[in-house]
Amino acid sequence: MTSVNIIIGSQMGSAEYVGEQLAEQLISQGIATEVHDQPNFFEINQENTTWLLCTSTYGAGDYPENLLAFVEDINQVNDLKGLKFSVIGLGDTSYDTYNLAGRNLEQLLLSKGASCVAERLELNILDEQLPEDTALAWLPSWIEKIRA
Protein backbone atom coordinates (compact mmCIF):
# COMPACT_ATOMS: atom_id res chain seq x y z
CA MET A 1 0.00 0.00 0.00
CA THR A 2 1.23 3.41 -0.91
CA SER A 3 1.45 6.26 1.56
CA VAL A 4 -0.42 9.53 1.15
CA ASN A 5 0.98 13.05 1.38
CA ILE A 6 -1.76 15.64 1.84
CA ILE A 7 -0.55 19.00 0.61
CA ILE A 8 -2.58 21.96 1.83
CA GLY A 9 -3.07 25.30 0.11
CA SER A 10 -5.20 27.38 2.44
CA GLN A 11 -5.63 31.09 3.00
CA MET A 12 -8.50 31.12 5.51
CA GLY A 13 -8.32 27.58 6.90
CA SER A 14 -11.10 25.74 5.06
CA ALA A 15 -8.81 23.63 2.88
CA GLU A 16 -6.62 22.92 5.89
CA TYR A 17 -9.60 21.63 7.84
CA VAL A 18 -10.70 19.40 4.94
CA GLY A 19 -7.16 18.02 4.61
CA GLU A 20 -6.92 17.29 8.33
CA GLN A 21 -10.27 15.46 8.30
CA LEU A 22 -9.14 13.33 5.36
CA ALA A 23 -5.84 12.58 7.09
CA GLU A 24 -7.63 11.38 10.23
CA GLN A 25 -9.80 9.05 8.14
CA LEU A 26 -6.84 7.68 6.16
CA ILE A 27 -4.81 7.08 9.31
CA SER A 28 -7.76 5.33 10.97
CA GLN A 29 -7.74 2.92 8.02
CA GLY A 30 -4.05 2.15 8.51
CA ILE A 31 -2.81 4.26 5.58
CA ALA A 32 0.44 6.08 6.32
CA THR A 33 -0.42 9.75 5.89
CA GLU A 34 1.47 12.99 6.33
CA VAL A 35 -0.06 16.48 6.18
CA HIS A 36 1.96 19.40 4.80
CA ASP A 37 0.34 22.73 5.68
CA GLN A 38 3.50 24.68 4.82
CA PRO A 39 4.58 22.48 1.90
CA ASN A 40 8.18 22.38 0.77
CA PHE A 41 8.35 20.60 -2.60
CA PHE A 42 11.82 19.19 -2.02
CA GLU A 43 10.93 17.70 1.38
CA ILE A 44 7.84 15.76 0.26
CA ASN A 45 8.38 12.18 -0.85
CA GLN A 46 7.46 11.50 -4.48
CA GLU A 47 8.05 7.74 -4.63
CA ASN A 48 5.67 5.04 -3.39
CA THR A 49 3.19 7.72 -2.39
CA THR A 50 0.20 9.56 -3.72
CA TRP A 51 -0.09 13.29 -3.31
CA LEU A 52 -3.52 14.59 -2.38
CA LEU A 53 -3.44 18.33 -2.97
CA CYS A 54 -6.20 20.18 -1.16
CA THR A 55 -6.31 23.86 -2.08
CA SER A 56 -8.61 26.80 -1.99
CA THR A 57 -8.55 29.61 -4.53
CA TYR A 58 -7.66 33.06 -3.26
CA GLY A 59 -8.34 36.49 -4.69
CA ALA A 60 -8.72 36.56 -8.47
CA GLY A 61 -8.00 32.85 -9.00
CA ASP A 62 -4.67 32.83 -7.20
CA TYR A 63 -2.96 30.18 -5.14
CA PRO A 64 -3.07 30.65 -1.38
CA GLU A 65 0.06 32.31 0.02
CA ASN A 66 1.31 29.14 1.72
CA LEU A 67 1.37 27.35 -1.65
CA LEU A 68 3.23 29.98 -3.71
CA ALA A 69 6.81 28.75 -3.10
CA PHE A 70 5.67 25.13 -3.58
CA VAL A 71 4.13 25.94 -6.98
CA GLU A 72 7.21 27.93 -8.00
CA ASP A 73 9.38 24.90 -7.19
CA ILE A 74 7.15 22.67 -9.33
CA ASN A 75 7.55 25.17 -12.18
CA GLN A 76 11.34 24.72 -11.96
CA VAL A 77 11.20 20.91 -12.24
CA ASN A 78 11.20 19.27 -15.66
CA ASP A 79 10.05 15.72 -14.96
CA LEU A 80 7.54 14.38 -12.43
CA LYS A 81 6.74 11.19 -14.35
CA GLY A 82 6.80 8.93 -11.27
CA LEU A 83 4.46 11.10 -9.23
CA LYS A 84 0.82 10.11 -8.65
CA PHE A 85 -1.59 12.77 -7.44
CA SER A 86 -5.17 13.99 -7.07
CA VAL A 87 -6.57 17.46 -6.43
CA ILE A 88 -9.37 18.68 -4.21
CA GLY A 89 -10.31 22.29 -4.88
CA LEU A 90 -12.38 24.49 -2.61
CA GLY A 91 -14.06 27.52 -4.08
CA ASP A 92 -17.05 29.79 -4.25
CA THR A 93 -19.23 29.53 -7.36
CA SER A 94 -20.22 33.17 -7.07
CA TYR A 95 -16.74 34.01 -8.46
CA ASP A 96 -15.83 33.48 -12.10
CA THR A 97 -12.46 32.13 -10.92
CA TYR A 98 -14.20 29.24 -9.10
CA ASN A 99 -11.60 26.61 -8.18
CA LEU A 100 -9.03 28.09 -10.54
CA ALA A 101 -6.10 27.31 -8.20
CA GLY A 102 -7.02 23.61 -8.07
CA ARG A 103 -7.52 23.45 -11.82
CA ASN A 104 -4.24 25.23 -12.51
CA LEU A 105 -2.34 23.04 -10.04
CA GLU A 106 -3.68 19.90 -11.71
CA GLN A 107 -2.69 21.19 -15.17
CA LEU A 108 0.77 22.14 -13.92
CA LEU A 109 1.43 18.67 -12.51
CA LEU A 110 0.11 17.00 -15.65
CA SER A 111 2.36 19.22 -17.79
CA LYS A 112 5.35 17.92 -15.81
CA GLY A 113 4.39 14.29 -16.50
CA ALA A 114 2.73 13.44 -13.17
CA SER A 115 -0.21 11.01 -13.25
CA CYS A 116 -3.62 12.02 -11.95
CA VAL A 117 -5.22 9.01 -10.25
CA ALA A 118 -8.75 10.41 -9.83
CA GLU A 119 -10.92 13.15 -11.25
CA ARG A 120 -10.53 16.45 -9.44
CA LEU A 121 -13.03 16.96 -6.62
CA GLU A 122 -14.38 20.50 -6.57
CA LEU A 123 -16.08 21.68 -3.41
CA ASN A 124 -18.35 24.71 -3.48
CA ILE A 125 -18.34 26.43 -0.10
CA LEU A 126 -21.83 27.78 -0.86
CA ASP A 127 -23.31 24.27 -0.82
CA GLU A 128 -25.44 23.37 2.16
CA GLN A 129 -23.27 20.39 3.01
CA LEU A 130 -19.97 21.02 4.79
CA PRO A 131 -16.97 20.67 2.44
CA GLU A 132 -15.30 18.15 4.72
CA ASP A 133 -18.43 15.94 4.69
CA THR A 134 -18.43 15.87 0.89
CA ALA A 135 -14.70 15.09 0.85
CA LEU A 136 -15.10 12.31 3.41
CA ALA A 137 -17.93 10.77 1.35
CA TRP A 138 -15.64 10.89 -1.73
CA LEU A 139 -12.63 9.38 0.08
CA PRO A 140 -13.52 5.63 -0.10
CA SER A 141 -13.72 5.69 -3.91
CA TRP A 142 -10.39 7.55 -4.01
CA ILE A 143 -8.76 4.98 -1.74
CA GLU A 144 -9.90 2.23 -4.13
CA LYS A 145 -8.22 4.05 -7.03
CA ILE A 146 -4.89 4.46 -5.27
CA ARG A 147 -4.93 0.81 -4.20
CA ALA A 148 -5.56 -0.39 -7.77
What pLDDT is stored for residue 136 in this prediction? Answer: 95
What is the CATH code for 3-147?
Answer: 3.40.50.360
Q: Where are the alpha helices (DSSP H) in 2-130?
A: 14-28, 68-76, 100-111
What pLDDT is stored for residue 81 in this prediction? Answer: 95
What pLDDT is stored for residue 59 in this prediction? Answer: 83
pLDDT profile of the chain (148 residues), mean per 10: 90 92 96 96 95 93 95 96 96 90 97 96 86 94 90
What pLDDT is stored for residue 143 in this prediction? Answer: 94
Count of CB atoms situated within 10 Å of the CB of 75? 11
